[in-house]
C-alpha cells in the first residue's frame, strides 16, 4: 500500500479529516485506478461536508469496486448524502440497490423508511421501519421514527407512545428521541409532559429548528 494512502487512512481514523485529505490528494495513483483511494476520498469529503466531491468518488467505487462490502458502504453513504440534501428519489435508488444485492439490515430499512416518509409514502414507510424492528427489536432509531410517524399521522397514539418511550429509555439524552416523545404527549393532549420533554430536547439540541417549532406550538396551547 502507498505510504501516503496508509498515512491518510491513519489520520482519517483519528478524525483528522483535513490532514487525511491532504495525504490522499498527494497519492500519485489515479483514484479511478486505485479504488481504495477513491473510497477514502469519498469518506473524507463526506466528513468535511463537501458532498459534490464525495459523490464523484463514491460513484467510482459503486460502479467499479470488486469488494461488495465497500460497495455496500459506499451506497449507504450515497443514500445519506442524497437524504440530507433532500434528493430522496436518488437516495431511494441507492437503498434499492443495497436490498437487491441482499444486504438487509436495520440501518437500511430505517433509512428507507425515512426516505419514503419524506415522499409522503406513509404506509410503506411504516412497513419498512417495522422490518427494521423485526431484525433488531431494540433498534432505537426505528422505534423513534415509528413513534413519531404514528403520532404525526395520528394513526395509533398509544403505540406511538410505547415506541418513543422505548427509544428514550435507551438514549435518555438524545434530542430527537426526546422531541418525538414530547410530540406524542402533545398529540395526546398531555401538555405538561410534552413541555418537559420538548424543553429538554431543545436545550440538548442547541436550538434545533424543528424542535423549536414543536416547543412553540405546545407553549401556545398551554
Own/partner pairs, 134-142, CB within 8 angstroms, 24+ separation: 135/104, 135/105, 135/106, 135/109, 136/106, 138/166, 138/170, 139/106, 139/110, 140/166, 140/167, 140/170, 140/171, 140/174, 140/177, 141/106, 141/110, 141/167, 142/106, 142/109, 142/110, 142/113
pLDDT of residue 9: 95
Q: What residue ranges define each of the domains in the chain, with the CATH number in brackets?
A: 1-65 (1.25.40.10)
* DSSP label of 102: T
pLDDT of residue 29: 87
pLDDT of residue 65: 84
Residue from 128, 123, 166, 122 nearest 144 by CA: 166
pLDDT tens-digit readout, 150-204: 999 989 999 999 999 999 999 999 999 999 999 999 999 999 999 999 999 999 9
77 alpha-carbon distance from chain centroid: 9
> Reduced to 3 states, what is the DSSP secondary structure of residue 57?
helix
Q: Which residue has the cell 409514502?
A: 121
pLDDT tens track of the chain, all 222 residues? 678 899 999 999 999 999 999 999 999 888 888 999 999 999 999 999 999 999 999 999 999 888 899 999 999 999 999 999 999 999 999 999 999 999 999 999 999 999 999 999 999 999 999 999 999 999 999 999 999 999 999 899 999 999 999 999 999 999 999 999 999 999 999 999 999 999 999 999 987 888 999 999 999 877
> Could you tell me the CA-to-CA distances from 53 to 23, 47, 89, 132, 157 in Å, in that order?
16, 11, 20, 31, 43
Q: For the full predicted model, state whether its pTM sits above 0.85.
A: yes
pLDDT of residue 1: 64
Amino acid at each position: 500500500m502507498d505510504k501516503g494512502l496508509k498515512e491518510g487512512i491513519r489520520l482519517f481514523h483519528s478524525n483528522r479529516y483535513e490532514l487525511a485529505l491532504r495525504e490522499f490528494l498527494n497519492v500519485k495513483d489515479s483514484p479511478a485506478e486505485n479504488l481504495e483511494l477513491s473510497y477514502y476520498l469519498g469518506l473524507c469529503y463526506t466528513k468535511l461536508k463537501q458532498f459534490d466531491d464525495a459523490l464523484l468518488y463514491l460513484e467510482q467505487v459503486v460502479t467499479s469496486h470488486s469488494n461488495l462490502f465497500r460497495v455496500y458502504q459506499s451506497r449507504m453513504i450515497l443514500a445519506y448524502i442524497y437524504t440530507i440534501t433532500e434528493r430522496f428519489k436518488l437516495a431511494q435508488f441507492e437503498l434499492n440497490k443495497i436490498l437487491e444485492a441482499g444486504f438487509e439490515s436495520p440501518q437500511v430499512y430505517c433509512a428507507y423508511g425515512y426516505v419514503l416518509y419524506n415522499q409522503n409514502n406513509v404506509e410503506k414507510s411504516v412497513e419498512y421501519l417495522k422490518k427494521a424492528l423485526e431484525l433488531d427489536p431494540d433498534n432505537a432509531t426505528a422505534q423513534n421514527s415509528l413513534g413519531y410517524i404514528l403520532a404525526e399521522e395520528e394513526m395509533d397514539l398509544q403505540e406511538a407512545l410505547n415506541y418513543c418511550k422505548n427509544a428514550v429509555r435507551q438514549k435518555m439524552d438524545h434530542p430527537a428521541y426526546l422531541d418525538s416523545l414530547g410530540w406524542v404527549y402533545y398529540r395526546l393532549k398531555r401538555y405538561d409532559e410534552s413541555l418537559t420533554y420538548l424543553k429538554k430536547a431543545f436545550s440538548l439540541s442547541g436550538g434545533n429548528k424543528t424542535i423549536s417549532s414543536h416547543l412553540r406550538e405546545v407553549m401556545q396551547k398551554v
